[in-house]
Amino acid sequence: MSTLTRLATAAMMAAGLSLGAGATGALASSGDGPHLKQPNWSFNGLFGGYDEAQLRRGWEVYSGVCKSCHPLDYMHYRNLEQIGYTADEVKEIAASFDVPDGPDEWGEMYTRPATPMDPIAHPYENDAIAKLANGGVVPPNLSVMARARDGGADYIYSLLLGYADEVPEYVLEADPNFSLPPGKSFNHYFPGHAISMPQQLFEGILEYSDGSTPSAEQMALDVTSFLQWAAEPELEDRKALGRYTLLFLIVLTGLLYAYKREIWKDAH
C-alpha cells in the first residue's frame, strides 16, 4: 500500500471516529419493544457540542428529582463551572447540601455544608440504607450511565418517558404469563420491562430558573444531556482535536501528492 493510500485511509478513519464519537444507536432495549427514541442531540456529529443552558436545566432536574436516590460518584461541585455556573454560584449550590466530615476533636463524625471541592453529596450513607429505602435495590451511580448502557443518551431518554400504566398487548402476546412483580413499574425500554424505579418526571414537578416549561419531555431531554456531559465532559475537546487532526491529514495528503507529482514528472 502506497504512502498516499495509507494517509487517505487514515484520514477517512479519523473522520469516521469523530463522527461516531457522539452518536447513539437506535437499538431496541429488550428485543420485543419499540425502538429507542432518537432526539436531535446537540452533541451528536462531528461538529456537535453541549448546550450550556440545557446542561444547567439538566442539573436542576438531577438535583431536584434524581438526586434523592441516585449518586454522581465521580463528580465534584466545582465541575459545575464547566457548564456555565460562576464560582460564586457553585459555592451557593454546594452550600445547599450537607456532606459528612470528621472526626472532630471528640472523635465524632458530623455534617457540614459542602464546598466546591467536595464530591456531589451521596443520597445515602451506605448501600445497606439505599437497599432499605428502595425495595432491596441500590439505585445506580449516574456518573457514567450514558456510556455504560447500550443506546447511551437515547436509552436514558426513552426509559424516562417509557412508562405505561398497563402491560401492552405486544408483551402479553410474547409472554401470556407476564405480570409485574409487586413494587415494580412497567417500562417499554427497560430489559424485562419490570423496573424498580417508578415514573419520576411529571409536568410541574419543578420550576426552571430560566423560565423554560418543565414538561416531562423537556426534563428528560435536559437531564439526559446533563448525564451525557457527566459521562463525557471532554467530548467537545476530543471532537475539536479530531477535526484538527482530520484537517492536518487532508493538507498533508495534498502536499505529499504534490511532492510525488514533482518527483515523478520527468519519469516518462
How many C-beta neighbours within 10 Å does residue 193 have? Answer: 23
Query: Distance (Å, rounded) from C-alpha 80 to C-alpha 88?
Result: 11
197 annotated to bind ligand: yes
Nine-digit cell at 185? Answer: 413499574
66 annotated to bind ligand: yes
Beta bridge partners of 69: none
Which DSSP string do the residues of 141-193 spell out, in sequence order? P-TTHHHHSTTHHHHHHHHHT-EESS--HHHHHH-TT--PPTT-EEESSSTTS
Find all residues with CB under 8 Å of 198, minimum gap 6, and list them.
Answer: 163, 185
How many C-beta neighbours within 10 Å does residue 161 have? Answer: 19
Q: Phi/psi class of residue 41: alpha, beta or left (left: φ > 0; alpha: ψ in -120 to 50)?
A: beta
**Which residues contribute to the annotated binding site for heme c?**
66, 69-70, 197
**Which residues contribute to the annotated binding site?**
66, 69-70, 197
